[in-house]
Each structure stands twice: as structure tokens, then as C-alpha cells.
């Protein structure tokens, strides 16, 4: 399920805010950046 959430966010240019940093960071590392600075960003809710 995390893969589908990450792919949807990535396709629409959204960041992910989650407590599950490790899984989403790993997925984000596998997704290409469409252009410089457009990779999937993963944030912890307490860091915002």
C-alpha cells in the first residue's frame, strides 16, 4: 500500500508526511526525479 501512496504523491508533485519514514524514504530513493529538485520528499509530522 505504501508504494501506491508514494507513487500517487510523486506523480502529482506532493510531499509525504508520515511517521513511517523508513519505508517511504526507501521508496522515494527508487523514484526518479522528473527534473532537478522534484524528487519525492518525505517528512516526519513533528518536523513541520
pLDDT tens-digit series, residues 5-48: 999 999 898 999 999 999 999 999 998 877 777 789 999 999 98
Distance (Å, rounded) from C-alpha 9 to C-alpha 6?
5
Overall pTM surpassing 0.75 (yes/no)? yes
Q: Which pLDDT score, from 0 to 100, does residue 36 have?
A: 73
Q: Which pLDDT score, from 0 to 100, does residue 38 have?
A: 79
CA distances from 22 to 2, 5, 17, 27, 35 (A): 11, 14, 12, 9, 24
CA atoms within 13 A on the CB side of 39: 14
Q: Which pLDDT score, from 0 to 100, does residue 48 have?
A: 87
Amino acid at each position: 500500500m505504501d508504494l501506491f501512496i508514494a507513487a500517487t504523491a510523486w506523480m502529482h508533485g506532493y510531499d509525504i508526511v508520515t511517521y513511517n519514514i523508513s519505508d517511504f524514504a526507501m521508496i522515494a530513493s527508487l523514484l526518479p526525479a522528473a527534473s532537478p529538485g522534484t524528487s519525492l520528499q518525505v517528512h516526519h509530522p513533528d518536523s513541520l
